């Protein structure tokens, strides 16, 4: 059984009630009244609240410049809110133990060049899991499996910076998935991908059990992976009902 093949609701389950958890666990992601601006005179986020439960996949849409990437960066600890709170896996952003939690949040950067920094594909994909303290043998298997799932068999020794844009996108996604994070924050995971590659990504993502927040301009694609859609507009987040 592949490491991705954990049972989870598929797009065919849409509309069915989710099973009740045995007890109410803390949401995987909780934002409360988050305000953030890169400069004091212009707020990008003007009071954003969001909760994502374990196993839930949420699509995030919004116009260019509406703050989607900013929101993911706040959730992955790259940015700090001016006010409001950010909680991931039940831990608030301020205490030190948030650092530990951040290792369990996988962020796919919008620009793959921000993600990839090793000379070869295999080294890039192995970097995270090796850092997590997993054995070389285990990581070697994980790298092979992850690349295969994404249609990248044989790419192990390719030079990362010479890959095409779409190839880089897939390798960047592989580096995130190989870490098997508890939550996935994916910034336009299928941008620049051809149809077959995008299909593979959708199929991998629908099988993954983790909580996900997925930014995309492709609503039909989001509809296949997510049961819930939120939209950023004028610095605020709203649930999209007709999804
Ligand atoms: N490092 C930065 N310094 C200053 N302003 C920034 C910075 N990064 C983003 N911004 C601004 O913040 C706003 C939100 O940007 P963000 O990248 O979050 O938008 P987005 O919704 O992800 O857009 P896109 O759909 O184009 O990716 C934009 O107006 C952008 O110009
Ligand atoms: Mg963006």
Tokens of 168: 């880089």
Q: What angle do CA 195, 66, 70 make, to 5 degrees?
A: 85
Beta sheet of 91-92, edge-to-edge order: 45-52, 29-36, 83-88, 91-92
Tokens of 113: 């060049």
Do residues 93 and 36 lie in contact, with contact meaning Cβ atoms separated by under 8 Å? no
Residue having the nearest C-alpha atom to atom 28 of ligand 1 = 65
- Ligand 1 mutation target, pool 59, 61, 65, 187, most atoms within 8 A of CB: 65
Distance 235 CA to ligand 1 centre (A): 12
Q: What are 18-54's pLDDT values in tens digits?
A: 444 445 678 999 999 999 999 999 999 999 999 999 9
Q: What are 176-200's pLDDT values in tens digits?
A: 999 999 999 999 999 999 999 999 9
Residue having the nearest C-alpha atom to atom 19 of ligand 1 = 65
Domains present along the chain, CATH in parentheses: 26-104+181-191+204-243 (3.40.50.300), 112-180 (no CATH)
C-alpha dihedral sign at 86, 187, 12, 55:
negative
């Amino acid at each position: 059984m592949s490491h991705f093949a954990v049972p989870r609701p598929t797009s065919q389950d849409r509309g069915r009630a989710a099973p009740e958890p045995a007890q109410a666990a803390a949401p995987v992601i909780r934002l409360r009244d988050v305000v953030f601006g890169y400069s004091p005179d212009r707020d990008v986020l003007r009071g954003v609240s969001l909760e994502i439960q374990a196993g839930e996949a949420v699509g995030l849409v919004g116009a260019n410049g509406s703050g989607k990437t900013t929101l993911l960066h706040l959730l992955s600890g790259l940015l700090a809110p001016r006010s409001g709170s950010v909680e991931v896996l039940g831990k608030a952003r301020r205490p030190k133990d948030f650092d530990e939690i951040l290792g369990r949040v996988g962020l796919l950067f919008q620009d793959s060049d921000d993600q990839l920094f090793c000379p070869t594909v295999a080294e890039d994909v192995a970097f995270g899991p090796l850092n997590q303290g997993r054995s070389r043998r285990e990581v070697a298997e994980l790298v092979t499996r992850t690349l295969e799932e994404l249609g990248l068999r044989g790419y192990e020794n390719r030079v990362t910076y010479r890959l095409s844009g779409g190839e880089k996108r897939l390798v960047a996604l592989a580096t995130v998935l190989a870490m098997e994070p508890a939550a996935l924050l994916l910034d336009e995971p299928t941008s620049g991908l051809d149809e077959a590659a995008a299909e593979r990504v959708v199929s991998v993502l629908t099988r993954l059990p983790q909580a996900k927040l997925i930014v995309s301009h492709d609503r039909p694609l989001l509809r296949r992976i997510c049961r819930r859609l939120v939209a950023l507009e004028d610095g605020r987040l709203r649930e999209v009902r007709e999804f």
